[in-house]
Structure 1
Amino acid sequence: MTDNFRDFTGGLESPATHLVETSPSDTGDLPVTSRALNVGTAGTLRVTTIGGTTATVYIAAGIPFPVRVTRIWQTGTTATGIVVMY
């Protein structure tokens, strides 16, 4: 496969190169900080950002939501099919 962009350095505005399906947890952080989140079923996500703030946000299904988070909380999360993009 040809990768026409292999010689370019990726930045925060670049598309994600890794996708990880994840489950929310009230006790554990994500293994890697997100670049964006995506969900299969719309709903709320209670998240802690890389800056240390915790809030509940609404995420629409199938649309990447650009936010850098370290934790997705089980309590306060109703969205399902969560994919961490980085």
Structure 2
Amino acid sequence: SFVLFFLAKVLETGRGVWWLAVGAAVGAALLSKYTAMFFGAAILIWLAAVPKLRRWFLSPWPYLGGLVAFALFSPVILWNADHHWVSF
């Protein structure tokens, strides 16, 4: 729910800082369910499909949001690497 709410804020305000909140929400979602990874693909498709949103590909904000999501999810990746990828 927070991912969609923050994406709506990106759309409503046009402020890039909301991408950090999107990244935090996706990262938190990934901590509970790995299927939240589909948010990444859905967001990319959304940005590519809507012409007025394609400008975000030239902005650093979505990429920084992706880094936030990765940073939040990285302990899970590290744990799995140490445990033979048991939960993947």
TM range (shorter): under 0.3
- Normalising by structure 2, what TM-score? 0.23
Q: Which has the higher strand share?
A: 1
